């Protein structure tokens, strides 16, 4: 174990030696000579062969030569301590490598290096994380391996559309082709700040919107206790789907504008500011209680042309069993089929894209 530990240490200090050898070339030559001996001994040990050089003894001698002269009786216990330290170094290195591989696979498959708490991973996709309850080490590996087939499969956005849905294309384009244009599914939380940035980036990317019909489905990220991660996300989602369902009930031949109002709601929430020059999403997330939030939504509907009776009908629809069932259906589909670790999640061109959309 001593030579394996020594090889690991030599590899780590190699970066510093490389820098210092710029000024002292002899140091680099001496380092390479020792590294070659270490590598030879290391490769023999990991293939369960006995080292045929004296490298291991050289390491111990270098560490103990002063002790031999001053306190010979301390040589044996110190030699044992060196062996123990070598074992610990090897174990820590092996564990670090395993954890590194695990984190890399988790980022590739799930978009985060921390399976249980995605928000704690600075290397993951920029998103609003969907944290789970603490998983044990083996369960996290299980989730990673279970996600590999999802990462490799071809994703078709239309397979996951829970109708009625509305596309955002008309917010940025006056003319676009519906028939024959590939679909894209964008899963967002009304209160997620990354969703705000992603939504704005998509509206700016007119080429993307010309080549994809982008459908939005809202999903409320919940805390472990079942409360919304972002205040008023559930209210906003209820009103959004209430408008879509009201539009579906009105029928294709009717002049209903409820679906258009659902788009206006999203657009205002993500791209517009209040008269006090504060972003609407910020106000819903941080300033408004439920009563103020709902009053604001009703004032928007009135501004957009709905009569009092229609606004009352939308408010009642937002708390209806129809909307609850629709949202539950969407939640089940997202959690059981798409299984995102963060929001937004976008499906298009045969792939599931995690995190912020960048144009």
pLDDT tens figures, 35-83: 677 766 767 666 666 665 555 666 666 666 666 667 777 767 777 777 7
Whose CA is closest to 185, among 341, 45, 353? 353
Q: pTM of the full predicted structure?
A: 0.75
Percentage of the chain with pLDDT > 90?
45
Give the tens place of pLDDT for each residue, 224-264. Answer: 888 999 999 999 999 999 999 998 887 654 456 788 899 99
Average pLDDT over residues 261-268: 95
Whose CA is closest to 157, among 237, 244, 215? 215
Reply yes or no on whether the pLDDT at 123 is more than 80: no
pLDDT bracket for residue 10 (50, 70, 90): low
User: How far from chain centre, in Å, is Cα 262?
Assistant: 27
Residue 51: the pLDDT is 61
Give the tens place of pLDDT for each residue, 73-119. Answer: 776 777 777 777 777 777 777 788 888 888 888 888 777 777 777 76
Reply yes or no on whether the pLDDT at 302 is more than 90: yes
Give the tens place of pLDDT for each residue, 184-196. Answer: 999 999 999 999 9
Hey, what domains does the chain have and what are their CATH numbers?
2-78 (no CATH), 155-354 (3.40.30.10)
Mean pLDDT of the chain: 83
Instruction: Measure Cα distances from 224 to 89, 130, 227, 348 in Å.
Output: 38, 10, 8, 30
Give the tens place of pLDDT for each residue, 171-185. Answer: 988 887 777 889 999
Residue 253: the pLDDT is 46
| Alpha-helical runs (H) found in 155-289 | 169-172, 193-204, 206-211, 233-250, 258-271, 280-282
Residue 73: the pLDDT is 72
Residue 149: the pLDDT is 83
Residue 8: the pLDDT is 67
């Amino acid at each position: 174990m001593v030579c394996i530990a020594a090889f690991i240490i030599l590899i780590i200090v190699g970066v510093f030696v490389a820098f210092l050898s710029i000024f002292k070339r002899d140091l680099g030559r001496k380092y390479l000579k020792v590294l070659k001996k270490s590598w030879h001994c290391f490769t023999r040990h990991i293939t369960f062969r006995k080292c045929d050089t004296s490298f291991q003894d050289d390491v111990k001698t270098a560490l103990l030569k002063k002790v031999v002269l001053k306190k010979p009786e301390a040589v044996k216990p110190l030699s044992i301590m060196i062996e123990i330290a070598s074992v610990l170094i090897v174990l820590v290195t092996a564990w670090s490598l395993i954890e590194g591989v695990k984190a890399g696979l988790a980022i590739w498959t799930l978009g985060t290096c921390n399976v249980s708490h995605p928000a704690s991973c600075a290397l993951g996709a920029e998103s609003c994380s969907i944290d789970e309850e603490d998983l044990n080490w083996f369960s996290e590996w299980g989730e990673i391996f279970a996600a590999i087939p999802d990462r490799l499969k071809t994703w078709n956005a239309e397979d996951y559309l829970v109708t009625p849905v509305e596309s955002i294309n008309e917010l940025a384009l006056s003319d676009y082709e519906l028939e024959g244009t590939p679909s894209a599914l964008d899963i967002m939380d009304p209160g997620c700040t990354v969703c705000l940035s992603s939504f704005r980036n998509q509206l700016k990317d007119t080429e993307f919107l010309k080549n994809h019909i982008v459908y939005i489905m809202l999903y409320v990220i919940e805390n472990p206790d079942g409360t919304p991660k972002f205040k008023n996300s559930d209210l906003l989602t209820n009103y959004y789907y209430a408008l879509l369902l009201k539009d579906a009930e009105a029928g294709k031949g009717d002049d209903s504008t409820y679906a258009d109002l659902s788009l206006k709601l999203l657009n205002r929430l993500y791209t517009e500011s209040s008269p006090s020059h504060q972003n609407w999403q910020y106000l819903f997330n941080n300033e408004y209680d439920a009563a103020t939030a709902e009053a604001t939504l009703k004032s928007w509907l009135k501004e957009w042309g709905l009569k009092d009776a229609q606004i009352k009908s939308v408010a009642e629809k937002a708390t209806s069993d129809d909307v609850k069932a629709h949202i539950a259906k969407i939640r089940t589909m997202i959690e059981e089929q798409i299984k995102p670790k963060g929001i937004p999640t976008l499906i298009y061109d045969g792939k599931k894209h995690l995190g912020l959309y960048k144009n």
